[in-house]
Amino acid sequence: MGYDVIIIGSGAGGGTLAKRLAPSGKKILILERGDFLKREPENWNVRSVFVENRYISQDTWYDGSGKPFQPQVHYFVGGATKMYGAALYRLRKEDFEELSHHDGTSPVWPISYEEMEPYYSQAEEMYQVHGQRGIDPTEPFCSAPYPFPAVSHEPRMQRLFDDWTKAGYHPFPAPCGIMLNEKDMGFSRCVRCNTCDGFPCLVQAKADAEMIGVRPALEFPNVTLLRGVRVQKLLTNPAGTAVTEVVTEKGTFRGDVVVVSCGAANSARLLLQSANGCHPGGLANGSDQVGRNYMYHNSQAVLAFSIEPNLTRFQKTIALNDFYFGMEGFEYPMGNIQMIGKTMGAMFKGEKPLLTALVPTAVLNRIAHHAVDFWLSTEDLPRPENRVTVDPEGRVTLSYTPNNQVPARKLYEKLKSMLGSLGMHPNYLIPRRAYLKTEIPLAGVAHQAGTCRFGNDPKSSVLDTNCKAHELDNLYVVDTSFFPSIGAVNPSLTAMANALRVGDHLLQRLK
C-alpha cells in the first residue's frame, strides 16, 4: 500500500508531526509498535506501576559488558509521553551554542535558539503548557506568554517557594502540560491527583502525544493509524538514495516520505538493522554516527524530610535554575532542580535496595508523609563511544560510560546545604530512586537523545538541519535522536517544537 508520508512511532516527535501534517490532505500512515494504553484501575495503582512495572516493555537490552537489563521504555500510542511527568521546558539559549563543561564541551547546534523559538511557542500552545514568564533568570527570549496560567502551589510547596525566594534564589513555576482549569474545577479534566508523574492518566488529562497529537490527527480521513505493528527494516532503491518500502511483521508499506520516530535508541536500531549493499554500516550511516553520542542526563531523584508534614498531592509546581550555569566557586554548568511526583509509601516497595520489601507499609507511609521530592538534572555530554549497536540477531547493546559527574555532585551538595533554611531536616537528602548513573547506569532511558545528530557536515552528522538523512532523499528522523547536545532540562518540548518545525518543511515539500 502506498502513502504520501509514513510515520514510524507516535510519541512526542511522531505524534506531534502527525497532527501538523493531518490538515494537508496528504495520505498519512502512522505505524505504532504498541497499542492504546488501556484505561483501567491499575493506571493509578502504585504497586502495579512502581513495583510490578505493569506498563514497562518486556524488552531485553545489553550493556557494554554483555549484561542484560530491562530498559524502562513504554510502547503505546503516544510513546513515552503516556508515562511522563508533563514537564515541558525550553532549552536555554546557551544550550544551542558551544558551552564549556567540567568534562568537556557541548557542541553548537546547526540552528539557533531564535530559529526554534517560534516553534517552542507553538508547542506550548498545542500542549496546553501552564507557566509564568519573567521569573527564571536563565529564561531565554519568548515571543508569546504561556497559554495557561501557572499551576498553583499547595501549602507546603508555597512555603518552599517563599523560603527559596527569601534566601535570594529565583524559584519559578514549573511548566506543566496538563488539561487543568483551576478557575472552574467543575470543567477541568485534570483533578490535580498524586498519580501523574510516572503514571498513566486514568482521566486522560495529561497533555501527551496521544491526546494532543494522534487523536486529533485521526479526525482527518486521510490519516490512518495501525497499532501493534513493529517495523523490521527499511528497504531502498537500487542506488540507495531513497527508502522504497517499510517492512513490518504484518506487511510491507510504501511511502513517498518515511519518518522514523521510534525514540533515540530504537530509531538508531532500525537504521542499523536496515543495512544493505549501498549502506553496509546501516542506513544513513556513511558518517558512522548512527547510534553514537547517546545521552540521557545525569539525573538524581532525591528525597528530603520536611519538619512539618507534606500533604501535597500535585507536587510538580516549582523549579530552580539558579545553578544551571554554575555558581560562585564553581564555574561550570550544574543544571536544573525541579520537583517530581509526591512519594507514596507503597512506591518504596519497588525501589530496592533503599528500603526492602520487608519494611512494614505503615513505616513507609510515615516516611512518605514528610517526604519532599526533588529531581536534579545535569547535562550529559555527547561521546562517540556512548552508543547503540545491533548484532545480526537484532540484539541491542547500549554501551555507556558516565561523564560530567562532578557537576551532578555539586548540584546535590548545594541542594543539601539549603535544607535547614527550607524547613527540612538538614542531614537527610537520600536517593528516592537509583537513577544516579553510578548506581543503575542504563535502565532509566526516559531522557534518551542524540543517536542521529543533525548538522551541516555529512561527515560528522546523520541528518541535515531539516532532520532529513544526508544520504537519502526521503528519510527523516523526528524524535530526540537529532539532538547534538541535551542541555539540563527535560527534552520533550524540544522534540515537540522540532516536530512542528520539520512539519512545516514537509508541508512545503509535499506541495
The values of phi and psi at residue 172, to 5°, are -140, 155
Reply yes or no on whether the pLDDT at 435 is more than 50: no
Which domains are delineated in the chain?
A: 1-84+112-126+208-295+383-397+447-511 (3.50.50.60), 150-198+298-378+401-441 (3.30.410)
Over 90: is that where the pLDDT of 57 sits?
Answer: yes
Residue 95 near residue 470, CB atoms below 8 Å:
no
Phi, psi of 159 (to 5 degrees): -65, -40
Vertex 232 angle, CA 230 and 234, to 5°: 120
- What is the number of residues in the chain? 511
The alpha carbon of residue 448 and the mean position of all alpha carbons in its chain are separated, in whole angstroms, by: 7
> What is residue 503's three-state secondary structure?
helix
The pLDDT tens digits of the residues spanning 75-126 come to: 999 999 999 999 999 999 999 999 999 999 999 999 999 999 999 999 999 9
Statement: residue 458 has pLDDT above 90: yes
Distance of CA 511 to the CA centre of its chain: 32
Dihedral, CA of residue 235, residue 479, residue 380 and residue 422, to nearest 10: -160
Strands 2-8 and 28-32, by their bridges, are parallel
Burial of 140 (0-12, 13-18, 19+ CB in 10 A): middle
Per-residue confidence (pLDDT) for residue 434, from 0 to 100: 40
Contacts of 238 (CB under 8 A, 6+ apart): 278
> 322 with 510: CB under 8 angstroms?
no
Q: Which residue has the cell 530504537?
A: 266
Cell of 202: 486514568
The string of pLDDT tens digits covering residues 374-415 is 999 999 999 999 999 999 989 999 999 999 999 999 999 999
Average pLDDT over residues 149-153: 98
pLDDT at 357: 58
Over the stretch 63-84, which tens digit does the pLDDT of each residue have? 999 999 999 999 999 999 999 9
> Cα Rg for the chain, rounded, in angstroms?
22
Contact between 289 and 37 (Cβ < 8 Å): no
How does 490-499 read in b/e, with b if 16+ C-beta sit within 10 Å?
A: bbbbbbbbbb
**Quick one: which of 31, 88, 375 has its CA closest to 233?**
31
Residues in contact with 286: Cβ distance below 8 Å, sequence separation at least 6, in sequence order: 279, 458, 470, 471
Query: How high is the pLDDT of residue 350?
Result: 62
Q: What is the dihedral of CA 401, 199, 267, 105, to 10 degrees?
A: -40
Core vs surface per residue 41-54: b (16+ CB within 10 A) or e: ebbbbbebbbbeee
**Pick from 460, 447, 457: nearest CA to 292:** 460
Please give the biggest Cα pair distance in the chain: 69
134 CB-near residues (< 8 Å, 6+ apart): none
pLDDT-derived band at 436, boundaries 50, 70, 90: very low
DSSP secondary structure of 147-192: SEEPPPPPHHHHHHHHHHHHTT---EEPPEEB---TT-GGG-S---
Cβ-based neighbours of 185, under 8 Å, separated by 6 or more: 191
**pTM for this structure?**
0.96
> Mean pLDDT lowest for which of 13-22, 328-337, 443-452?
443-452
pLDDT in tens, 461-484: 999 999 999 999 999 999 999 999
Closest CA to 32 of 300, 205, 261, 198: 261
315 backbone dihedrals φ, ψ, rounded to 5°:
-95, -15
DSSP states along 397-421 = EEE-----HHHHHHHHHHHHHHGGG
Other Cβ atoms within 10 Å of 205 Cβ, number: 20
Give the Cα separation of 313 and 311 in Å (integer): 6
In tens, the pLDDT along 162-203 reads 999 999 999 999 999 999 999 999 899 999 999 999 999 999
Three cell numbers written together for 285? 550511516
